[in-house]
Structures are given as structure tokens and as C-alpha cells.
Amino acid sequence: MADTWLSTLLTSTPEEGYALAIKLARTGVKMTQPDAAVRERLRAGYAENADSLMGASQVIAINFQTVAAANGYWRSL
């Protein structure tokens, strides 16, 4: 990840903000396990476990709080 991956928290819409929250959640995983092959292998079991999926949704939700606050909740749209 030599290139910039997070230049701003500002997005045009809530939906783009949610996509950024997903990116933030995934980046936290990548930073802890940089090996893409390992992550891919783990993903198989992960995506078949309901609690794991809800756990992912939770991390996305926490990041979405940050992104939404950064954008003033897109109130002026």
C-alpha cells in the first residue's frame, strides 16, 4: 500500500460514505494480515459464518459513524 488509499473522509453521498466505511474495515484487516493469499483463504470460512458476517457489519458501522460525522451527515444534500 505504497500509494495513497485514504486522501479524505469526505464523500458526495451517504452511499459512497458507506462504501468508504467498508474500505476502512477491510484495510484494518489488511494491515494486520498483509498476505492477500492468507486473507483469501480465510475468507471462505468467514463468509459462511453468520456471526462473522455480523461482526464485519459491526466494524463497518463503527467506521460509518466516523465517516458520517466527517460529512456532517450529508444533511445539506
| Residue 51 burial (10 A CB sphere; 0-12, 13-18, 19+) | exposed
Least Cβ distance, residue 12 to a copy of itself (angstroms): 11
Least Cβ distance, residue 58 to a copy of itself (angstroms): 5
The footprint of a copy of itself (CB under 8 A) covers 4-10, 13-15, 18, 22, 24-29, 31-33, 38-39, 42-43, 45-66, 68-70, 73-75, 77
Torsion of CA 51, 58, 18, 39, to 10 degrees: -60
Least Cβ distance, residue 18 to a copy of itself (angstroms): 6
- For the chain, state the CA radius of gyration: 14
